[in-house]
Chains A and B, each alone.
Chain A
Amino acid sequence: MNQSRRPVFVSGAAAVSAFGFEWRGIGAALKEGRVSFSHSSQLADSHPSILASEVPAIPVSIDAANAKAQKLMSRAAHLATIAVQQALADAHWEDNREEIGFYAGVGASGGSMVELTEMLRASIVEHQFSLARFGSAGLAACNPLFAFQLMNNFTLCHGAILAGVSGPNSAFYSRGNGTVAALFEASHAIAEGDCERALAGGADSAVHAVTWAELKREGYARNGFVPGEGAALLALSASADNALAIVEHCAFGNSLTSDRNDLDKLLMNIDITEIHSVIIAPWGTPARQTLRALTETHFPQASVLNINEFLGDALAATPALAWVTALDLLQTEEINKCLILNAGIDGGIGAVLLGKTSRHANIMEHGQ
């Protein structure tokens, strides 16, 4: 294996969000202050009147998954399949897909509530759950393929299967940083010569009855937390041909505090005076407040966008949606670099720096 470091370029991208199925234009939409929140259709039965950021109806023309395949998919997996197709098309990667790597941040399981309810209906009598009834009738009441919807690695696998992507890969559970870990690993896989091209990003949905109930229970479903969903990918390459950007930095650590030293460690080797555009992707209110404080102290001159204010919190997808937004801004704005900071409820903090391709610095380090 070639251990020498190579630059990692962004050759294409994809975004599936409440704004639609195009990554180009997301930056402008956010700059315009476009907000995507509406009453959730997916939570209408379980949690009526909740505002959410939901992906619009998926046009058949862009949906690679037929009805049969969709029965095996969680919502996140379905959104990911679209992002995979879009990213490959955007990068014009039609050939040799068996060599393309794929690294994704994935969230919790997200099976059909209809199936779950049928299972419970057959297993619960007068507020008593019966193991005997569950074993004999509850299991039979649901689609046998329900289990596939629950496997969170399938958020990666469905897209890979439909597109024939079979290079090195990993799915990382993400409450934010797992998605950065996916980019970190994909970038290293290219830099170290494991593969020449790779997809990296995340897909998830907070617009699910069980997930939303958990968010409420854990105390996050307040203070402006809006459940979102989406999928976003960067198509990364060792080749600079037609590159849209370069991954200048990717790092993450466990110490989300307002102590500026923690962020300094994460941004080691970066000249922060060159950064005039910052996108933050916090997971929950405490993380939002901390990231706000950190950006104010570190980047007082920078323009700061909080992606969650416009697209809600799409959990494992949010950091990747932020990267794609940064990519869009690099194409359309007079900026050379854009820093994306994410933070999660688990104390994780991540930093990704995308730059215009005229710059060939390429540093990838853990910060903390």
Chain B
Amino acid sequence: MIPVITGVGVVSAFGLGTQVFFNSLAEGRSAIRPIQSFDATSFPTRVAGEVPIETFHAIKNISRPNPTLDHYEQIDAFRDRKVVFGLLAALEAWNSAHCGEREQEAALSIALGLEQAFLDDFAPVFSDGKIDWNAESQLADSNVRIRSHVGLCVDLLGKHLNLRGPTFINASACAAGGLAVAQAASLIQRGTASVVLCGGADSMVNPFGIGGMARLGAPSPRNEPDACRPFDRRRDGLVIGEGSAMFVVESEERARNRGVKPLARILGWGSTQDAYRVTAPRPDGSAARQAMVRALIRAKHQPEDVGYINAHGTGTPLNDIAEAKAIRDTFGTHADHLPVSSIKGAIGHLMAASGAIELAACLLPLQRNILPGTAHHREKDPACEINVIGEQPVEANVDVVLSNSFGFGGQNVALVLGK
């Protein structure tokens, strides 16, 4: 059975909705700007691919046929931004695939980032330089406090949509979004699920998330709209983003039978582990290459069949050079002309959701014959011997595209989509 994508939903720094996302990419826009959701003026990192405030508040407009949303609002679940993003994107995907009661048997395969930490919650119970856990326990209630739990978004989605299938929460850092969609495709191909709601949601645009990443030195030190410049010779770090992309995946036959037009086929996927270092990608890109090779083998395609690569392309010095080597080694001379781009310069790095939203970006070439550009990529890096699309998108008719996602800790995944 061939798994196909029949619905998509996106929440990004461009705003709410897939068409907003597609139109913005097609226009070559960038949405990196100063952080608005908290006062970041004392932070080393002060820009992000932040979801607009009005998009976040779209949660208020969702119809509430059952008390689930009210309950989650009451327990302060929406303090965790990715819960809101995941729900908004899932509802768009669900509706765009014309899902109904029969689809409630769906499995759920979702990539979620870490718990959101609420450091200010410690303030009332912090005395004499330490946490008074006894006092903390006196505050006992069921509300989300100190940190949200990782599965909060899944709990809400399952209840709101009344999903009955098994749940997979992928926690593989920046590779998680791609792995979650690969998981969904596996379930369809095996025949162990008929429909899967899948994708990823994440937000690190909060004080602890932004601060922690800044402490690691991963973000660009420049707090400018062009802070992230993937594959550019002057690149100096990533920009943190947030949002979600969700998909409905089912078999091609099932989609046909219920009269829903597929947006893309999920042809292949492959994962590997760098097994190199905690703090850096494998410099020769060999494990990343192997993930692409596995994906192409599963897809039964030759490297020359691929017409576009959506790169992981973080804009960090080490990632981009290793990924360029991996692409060059996988595609050989085809890489001379194979268009490659990264959308992280435009919307930031969505961490656990990055693989999902970048797969959504891969629908742009398949649906509109437009290859997204690489925002802020102006000076080619001779060390990255690949054909990087510049800031402006280009028109091209391609049948097969590949998306890479590489996680902190060395987890790699590649997916191949086709018309």
Contacts and interface: CB of A to CB of B under 8 A. Distances in A.
Given A252-B166, A254-B165, A216 B140 contact: yes
A264 interface: no
B261 interface: no
Interface string B92-111: 00000000000000010000
B164 A217 contact: no
B72 interface: no
Contacts of A139: 43-44, 211-212, 214-215
A147 B166 contact: no
A145 B287 CA distance: 24
A217 B142 contact: yes
A213 interface: yes
A104 B242 CA distance: 26
A109 B129 CA distance: 23
A368 B172 contact: no
B133 A213 contact: yes
A154 B211 contact: no
A252 B169 CA distance: 13
B219 to A, nearest CB: 12
Contact of B126 (A46, A97, A127, A152): A127
Contacts of B171: 106, 152-153, 171-173, 178
B124 A108 contact: no
A154 B218 CA distance: 17
Contacts, number: 232
A134 interface: yes
B70 interface: no
Contact of B276 (A161, A168, A178): A161
Contacts of B149: 108, 214
A209 B133 contact: yes
A213 B140 CA distance: 9
Interface stretch (B114-122, B225-233, B355-363): B114-122
A290 interface: no
B271 A170 contact: yes
A108 B158 CA distance: 20
Interface stretch (A29-37, A115-123, A280-288): A115-123
B167 interface: yes
A169 B211 contact: no
Contact of B275 (A140, A165, A214): A165
A159 B130 CA distance: 33
A157 B410 contact: yes
A322 B369 CA distance: 52
B43 A151 contact: no
B172 A134 contact: no
A147 B212 contact: yes
Interface in A105-136: 106, 108-109, 113, 117, 119-121, 123-124, 127-129, 131-136
Nearest to A177: B167
B175 to A, nearest CB: 8
A170 B183 contact: yes
Question: Interface size for chain A: under 10, 10 to 19, 20 to 34, or 35 or more residues?
Answer: 35 or more
A144 B216 contact: yes
A93 interface: no
A356 interface: no
B39 interface: yes
Instruction: State the main secondary structure of chain B at its contact with A.
Output: mixed
B122 A120 contact: yes
Interface in B269-327: 270-279, 287, 290, 294, 297-298
Interface in A24-79: 46-47, 69, 72
B64 to A, nearest CB: 22
Given A135-B42, A173-B112, A217-B141, A142 B215 contact: yes
B298 A1 contact: yes
B207 A134 contact: yes
Interface string B333-358: 00000000000000000000000000
A123 B119 contact: yes
A3 B297 CA distance: 13
Interface in A326-354: 346, 348
Contacts of A252: 166
B265 to A, nearest CB: 16
Contact of A151 (B42, B173, B275): B173
Nearest to B277: A161
A185 interface: yes
A299 interface: no
B272 A168 contact: yes
A138 B211 contact: yes
A97 B274 CA distance: 12
A148 to B, nearest CB: 6
Contacts of B215: 139-140, 142, 144, 146-147
Contact of A135 (B43, B145, B170): B43
Given A1-B298, A160-B410, A173-B112, A117 B131 contact: yes
B214 to A, nearest CB: 7
A196 interface: no
B398 interface: no
A131 B173 contact: no
B410 A168 contact: no
Given A127-B124, A148-B278, A188-B190, A108 B150 contact: yes
B217 A144 contact: yes
Given A132-B42, A139-B214, A166-B272, A161 B278 contact: yes
B280 to A, nearest CB: 11
Contacts of B274: 161, 166
Nearest to B217: A144
Contacts of B214: 139
B40 interface: yes
20 contacts: A108-B149, A109-B147, A120-B131, A131-B207, A148-B216, A151-B173, A156-B409, A157-B410, A164-B275, A165-B275, A170-B170, A170-B271, A170-B411, A171-B411, A172-B171, A174-B169, A177-B166, A254-B163, A366-B166, A368-B166
3 cross-chain pairs, A with B, having the tightest CB-CB distances, nearest first: A135-B42, A157-B409, A166-B275
Interface of B: 38-44, 107, 112, 114-115, 119-120, 122-124, 126-127, 129-131, 133, 136-137, 140-142, 145-147, 149-151, 155, 158, 163-173, 176, 179, 183, 186, 189-190, 192-193, 207, 211-217, 270-279, 287, 290, 294, 297-298, 407-411
Given A146-B215, A157-B409, 7 more contacts: A109-B114, A132-B41, A135-B41, A153-B171, A166-B290, A217-B142, A254-B167
